[in-house]
Copies of this chain bind each other. A is one copy, B any other.
Amino acid sequence: MQLAAIGFDADDTLWHNEPIFAMTEQKFEELLSAYCSAEEIRRRLFEIETRNLHHFGYGVKGFVLSMIETAIELTDGQITGAEIQRLIDLGRHMLESPIELLPHVETVLHSLAVRYPLLLITKGDLLDQESKIARSGLADLFTHIEIVVEKTPDVYAHILAKYDIPPERFLMVGNSLRSDILPVRAIGGLAVHIPYRITWQHELANPDGVTYFKLDHIGELPAFVRRLEREEA
């Protein structure tokens, strides 16, 4: 079997992302440390983020709005204007953070782009994601770039149909079971899970009975793809 295309997730698959959120969350906990325990802050922030996803979606802006709401609630409205301004500035700082590629990403993408159409499929805020893709210097290696609100089976099916890619000849590579692996397996695609060292609680999933491949890092991908094509030939 020859793969028709390979899809890549972006955040925490091609470049570091979760540490930027984790670092900001830590500063947020310090800011509120006079009011509550770090554990309570973390728990309540996650609850408010989850509730707000429906309205605000993924990305830095929604995260900042959730931090502000959490801060107002946990301080009983005692948080000052200056402290809230500090939260907005943290968000602006996140949006300006340099893109740090994960090891092997550049050589792996260059070598695979010669043989396969590569798709970048990422969810989140449009401006934020486009800016990160541009700053990554990787944009030209991808035949198609898709920024979506949520990575569901339907969304993947729609993208593959648009580009005439048969699901059974599509391989998706990503760090999130919930967003990159399970929905692709659900529509009959192949998927390789490459875990990142931190996973946002929201992206955890129980892959009960679903089969998929797993690699330690993206440097192993080219050899894996060669093996896959030989074995499924």
Contact = CB atoms under 8 A, between A and B. Distances in A.
A233 interface: no
Range class of the A interface residue count = 20 to 34
Contacts of A61: 56, 61-62, 65
B57 A69 contact: no
A112 to B, nearest CB: 22
Q: State the oligomeric state as a number of copies.
A: 2
Contacts of A65: 61, 64-65, 88, 91
A165 to B, nearest CB: 16
A72 interface: yes
Contact of A95 (B55, B84, B91, B125): B55
A170 to B, nearest CB: 20
Contacts of A110: none
Contacts of A81: 71-72, 75-79, 84
Interface string A46-71: 00000000011100011011001101
Interface of A: 55-57, 61-62, 64-65, 68-69, 71-72, 75-82, 84-85, 88, 91-92, 95-96, 125-128, 130, 147-149
